[in-house]
Amino acid sequence: MNHLATNFYEAASVILFGIGFMNLLLQNNLIKKFIGLNIMDTAVYLFLAAKGYIFNRTAPILTDGIIDANYYINPVPAGLVLTGIVVSVSVTAFSLALVQRLYKHYGTLNMDEIMQFAREGEGE
Amino acid sequence: MHHVNLVHNIPFFSIFLAMFCGIITPLISNGKIARRVHGAMVLIVGVMSAILLINVTKNQETFTFMMGHFPAPWGNELKAGPLEALMALTFSVVMFLTVTGGSDFIYKEIVPEKQNLYFIMLNALFGAMLALVYTNDMFTAYVFIEINTIASCALIMAKGTANAMVGTTHYLVISLMGSGLFLLGLSILYSITGHLLMPQMQEAIIALAATGEYHFPLLVVTGLLFIGLGIKSALYPFHAALPGAYSAAVPTSSGILSGLVLKSYIILAIKLIYSVFSVEVMRELKIVNIMFVFGLVAMVMGSVRAMKETRMKRMLAYSSVAQIGYIYMGIGLASRIGMVAACFHILAHAFTKSMLFVCCGSMVDECDGKEQLYHLRGAGFRNPLAGVGFTVGALSMVGVPLFAGFISKLYFASASVYVPGKMIAVLLVLAISMILNAMYFLPSVIAIWTPVKTEGEQTHKRVSVSPSFGIAVVLFIAANLTLGIWYHPFIHIIEMGISLLQ
């Protein structure tokens, strides 16, 4: 319990990850499914950002000439978050393009209905 | 100016060349020219990989290539040894042969304005797979996993039919779950080790394992990473997207996805075992045993599902599920020889399954796209080359001597002898799976060589196939026989590569 209280950012991000993951897995509405994907990815970015931040320190930008590393937070996780954001943006763009085409063809966003239509189409 | 070893630049240059061709391909509006650019690129990478392979096996070395001149632990690195070079060479050869043999499908099934876009995706996919083989940095691996995912989804979707879209959605969702788990695992691993480069991570993990600190997070991390990669490489319970996606896609895409893309994730998993977690820690955490059990289940269940299937491409997809099970079973044996068998099976399956998909696609095409076995009767007489290719592939998958599939099964069986606790399970499941393989592959082989007597006179009208298809199938068969007869050098290289990975 104590660990949860001290690491509440991490705990929150893992819970968010779970919410996003289950949405991606179980949600029938395709748009909501990919919102789930974004929640999942964002949860990991929260985790990374929380890990990179060190209390009472400042952003690693040299302004007053201090080169001591103990004065700054860890910049690497921020770099990872940026890279991750680029990746998830492109994945989301691809997914939404796909969803749009599916909607144009089937006229619905419900995955179950789409699967049913697809099966009917195959059976012909 | 220090001495620059040109051979050491090959890994970087291969990835760069593939990505660069992906970038210039949009400028080429003609699909045929885009194909030539792609083919030339793959050939160049193949030749370079062969040079690299000869060099590293001669010197028995692995080397790291520093990207951007920042030394470890800050910079980004590529690492290459015999195993990596062999995999890059295999990927290039299989890619080249599959695209050469399957180029007709691309021209026929994809609208002409979009053919060049297909080759962009092929180039990006090839670059991403090479990067997964060579990278020495975990976050780079994650980024290329995602590039791999998007490119493979685009390859499935390229046909543009409704089925292809549904198949892509399925494949995309399942792949994204896999990469999400991988990313979370990677983030936690980074937070407990403080490194992203594999060798530094390994040092930290061995130190953590020795002190027993962070035991539970380490267990969770291995679970997340390997479940993530298991989902991406379609290990049995996570295979649901494969049949729909592979049967809806262009046969060329299916061949590449099943033969190569799934393997690139497994190679990453093997690198994780040796270069990140180290074999001792993996054994201690019991993850290998879980992989072993999943592998065994996949071997049986994949074959059972394949047996129930009457549609050819879906059957091949389920057969891939079973073959992925073989590879995980070999990894799960947690012995050197088991890993050698698994790596050899990666080669054998890459060469065999790509050929099967291309030949199957060619036969299905003449039957007006009907892929039920019933409609394919006599297809071997109408299209002898595809029929022979399919037969060779099927025999190799069943494990008939002289073909590639036999050698890996032989090695799996002999590997199990050294692991007493798992021997009986391996031999039993291997036998069951081989019988099941025979039970679904042989009927399809018999069906395509069954003469059909219909009222029409021109029952066995030969169809003409393009020369590129012919050359590709002949080379595929030659490669399969080479792997099946002169397998010693490959086993030797794999053994050397694995011992150098540690």
Interatomic CA distance for residues B322 and B298, integer angstroms: 5
pLDDT at B375: 83
ipTM above 0.85, yes or no: yes
- Contact between B102 and B251 under an 8 Å Cβ cutoff? The reply is yes
The reply to whether residue B180 touches residue A21, judged by beta carbons under 8 angstroms, is yes
Domain boundary pick from B260, B280, B300: B280
Domain boundary pick from B262, B280, B298: B280
Q: CA of B84 to nearest chain A CA: how many angstroms apart? A: 26
DSSP state of B38: H
A11 part of contact set with chain B, CB < 8 Å: no
For residue B172, the chain A residues in CB contact (below 8 A) are: 94-95, 98
For residue B169, the chain A residues in CB contact (below 8 A) are: 30, 98-99, 102, 111, 114
Name all domains of chain A by residue range, CATH numbers in brackets: 2-123 (1.10.287.3510)
pLDDT at B177: 94
Domain co-membership, B374 together with B226: no
Domain co-membership, B180 together with B164: yes
Domain co-membership, B364 together with B295: yes
Q: Which of B415, B95, B127, B135 is nearest to B267 (CA)?
A: B135
Give me the number of domains chain B comprises. 2
Domain co-membership, B329 together with B476: yes
- Contact between A101 and A20 under an 8 Å Cβ cutoff? The reply is no
For residue B154, the chain A residues in CB contact (below 8 A) are: 94
- Contact between A23 and A35 under an 8 Å Cβ cutoff? The reply is yes
Of B146, B165, B187, nearest to A87 by CB-CB distance is B146
- Contact between B305 and B389 under an 8 Å Cβ cutoff? The reply is no
Q: CA of B149 to nearest chain A CA: how many angstroms apart? A: 9
Extract the tokens encoding B8: 């050491």
Domain co-membership, B256 together with B321: no
Residue B489: CA count within 13 A, CB half-sphere: 9
Interatomic CA distance for residues B206 and A95, integer angstroms: 40
Interatomic CA distance for residues B238 and B253, integer angstroms: 20
Domain co-membership, B154 together with B10: yes
pLDDT in tens, B220-238: 999 999 999 999 999 988 9
Domain co-membership, B350 together with B427: yes
Mutating which of B140, B143, B184, B193 best tests the A interface, going by the most A Cβ atoms within 10 A?
B184
Interatomic CA distance for residues B148 and B182, integer angstroms: 14
Alpha-carbon dihedral sign for residues B455, B458, B459, B463? negative
Domain co-membership, B317 together with B241: no
Instruction: Identify residue B82 by its one-letter amino acid code.
Output: P
Domain boundary pick from B280, B297, B330: B280
Interatomic CA distance for residues B289 and B273, integer angstroms: 13
Q: Which of B155, B152, B151 is nearest to B109 (CA)?
A: B155
Domain co-membership, B240 together with B348: no
Q: Bin B461: left if φ > 0, else alpha if -120 < ψ < 50, else beta.
A: beta
Q: Tokens 């920042």 label which residue?
A: B70
Mutating which of A28, A34, A44, A53 best tests the B interface, going by the most B Cβ atoms within 10 A?
A44
Extract the tokens encoding B406: 């036999």
| Distances from the Cα of B374 to the Cα of A14, B358, B474, angstroms | 51, 19, 27
Q: Which of B141, B14, B126 is nearest to B77 (CA)?
A: B141
Interatomic CA distance for residues B14 and B65, integer angstroms: 13
Tens-level pLDDT at each residue, chain B (502 residues): 456 688 899 999 999 999 999 999 999 988 899 999 999 999 999 999 999 999 999 999 899 988 878 887 888 899 999 999 999 999 999 999 999 999 989 999 899 888 999 999 999 999 999 999 999 999 999 999 999 999 999 999 998 888 899 999 999 999 999 999 999 999 999 999 989 999 999 999 999 999 988 888 899 999 999 999 999 999 988 998 899 999 999 999 999 999 999 999 999 999 999 999 988 888 888 888 999 999 999 999 999 999 998 888 999 999 999 999 999 999 999 888 999 999 999 999 999 999 999 999 999 888 877 888 888 888 888 888 999 999 999 999 998 999 999 999 999 999 999 888 888 999 999 999 999 999 999 999 998 888 876 655 455 567 778 889 999 999 999 999 999 999 999 999 999 999 998 7
Of A17, A94, A115, nearest to B184 by CB-CB distance is A17
Domain co-membership, B232 together with B159: yes
Interatomic CA distance for residues B186 and B139, integer angstroms: 8
- Expressed as residue numbers, the domain containing B148 is 1-280
Domain co-membership, B217 together with B118: yes
Strands B63-67 and B76-80: antiparallel
Domain co-membership, B196 together with B298: no
pLDDT in tens, B126-159: 999 999 999 999 999 999 999 999 999 999 999 8
Of A76, A91, A105, nearest to B146 by CB-CB distance is A91
